[in-house]
Structure 1
Amino acid sequence: MTSPTVQPFFHDQSDTFSYVVSCPETRQCAIIDACLDFAYNAGRIRTESADKIVAYVEDNGLTVQWILETHAHADHLSAAAYLKSKLGGKIAIGEHVKEVQQFFKGLYNVDDVSGDGREFDRLFADGDTFQIGNVPVRVMHTPGHTPACITYVVNEECAFVGDTVFMPDYGTARCDFPNGSSRQLYRSIRDKILALPEDTKLYMCHDYRPNAPGPRYVTTVKEERERNPLVHDGTSEDQFVKIRDGIDRVLPAPQYILPSLQVNIRAGHMPPPEAGGKRYLKLPLNVLGSNNVDLDF
């Protein structure tokens, strides 16, 4: 089997890693978890980060087969639709994105979101396989952070884990998003991701300590099993749930969750234009967190 070439890109605004995974024999590639730049205070979207990926693909003579999402992200706006417009390829995500669409379609009170995933070119089920050129990829459904989270196991030698587990000194993703579950996350990590061979490389979606000692994006199953503070060997499911739920109770909502989800459930497309040709991102009031006040004034 052909080993892939992996090129990381770091998005400072959201501490997110995106990847171009390519087949050195065929020059076919996949782009994973790409980001747009978003200035919240001005409502302005820019493409500088995504354009670095475009330049890398073009400079290396690659052809994009796939634009892959590990889940519908809550911390950045997906660049999937923009990259498809520039480079081609099929946008794909896990089939349980339908649940995420249905929840947030109601939250934003929008009628252009299908709720059945048709905005994406391919919906992956657990166990599905596909190719990046001559490189085989296997899909694992790894829910808990969100119901739609999937892990891409590439050539049975590396895995792109999304927001399930982080670097061994940091821990795991949160589980307090709609239909998230700390018990599910524990099982996804322990029974699936950390059940891969010890030398399997795990590529992170985030590094929340990018300055110590610099952005870190890859570890191994062995390192996670030995050192991860929340899911190392010997940690029971009940222990994990108690700690994870306790942390999540005091975590603030991600800064970009409200603008990002309404783009990401549309496969990276912007909301349709309204009167005058302008597009709007909605800001629902008093829907996140607790201690809501009466807004009937």
Structure 2
Amino acid sequence: MRKIDPFLTALICAVLLATVLPCKGNATLILEYVTDACIMVMFFMQGIKLERRAILENMRNWKLQGLVLACTFLLFPLLGVSLHALAPGLLDSNTWLGVLFLCCLPSTVQSSIALTSLANGNVAASICAATLSNIAGIFITPVLVSVVLHTQGVWSAQAITDIAVQLLLPFVAGQLFQSVLHKWVHRNKKIISITDRSSILLVVYTAFSHAVVEGIWSKLDLQSILSLVAIDVGLLLLVLLITLLLGKACGFPSRDEVSLILCGSKKSLASGVPMANVLFPASIAGFIILPLILYHQIQLFLCTLIARHYHTKHSSDV
């Protein structure tokens, strides 16, 4: 039986705290400045941690890397738009925005690599795919959000400035200082991980505080939440099936197939939460990140089962 992820528990607690004790008034302004600073630190650390060498060494497997990017930035948005067109009344408009935003996000890094390792898959290819996805996502996700959501305010001059200042510049700075700080970051992985997760929790609390003030729980009843879970599960299962079929159609060896499935089906909470904070008004940010928070745990649970299946398969082949 899989243990409950402590980070998931912390996320739930952040949502509950915002529900019971939402941030209001002047405290909200202070918290917004703090969250902006935390987001910049997070992307600075991402710039240090994401290695360019890992991408260059594995780009020779262009078919696998191209398919992961296609699944992440083409397949997901197409499925999200199709589901919305088929059943627009299942969710309110803001929560649908959150589902579509989820579809535009890059893949995860840590969990994709960890689960590929558990499955005895092609870890080097997964490192390349996840890293490339996150670097590309800084540029591609805002454009996709603007195209998929058709929102006039997302791709405004102010949004471009916010993306540059809070996401792109810190990331580029992290890349520039990578040679100097890379060893320090790896020596202090636990501290960095706690800092990253604490920053995400703070952004979640701030976003949900705004959402509670805007009446999120009066607009989302139990049926809406169950519908949202069903949509998240449906999206993940569709992508898992399609990536499996693509891997077999391309004749990938089993270990490359694992990388395609586990990297191509993931969505990054670490990138998604701060991006939502930058791209969307505070009044709807809580609605936007709720589908992502649910998807995060669903993907960890189902992909862990898949990784264990491949681990058993590869172990028996040895």
Structure 2-normalised TM-score? 0.25
- TM-score, normalised via structure 1 length: 0.26
More strand by share: 1
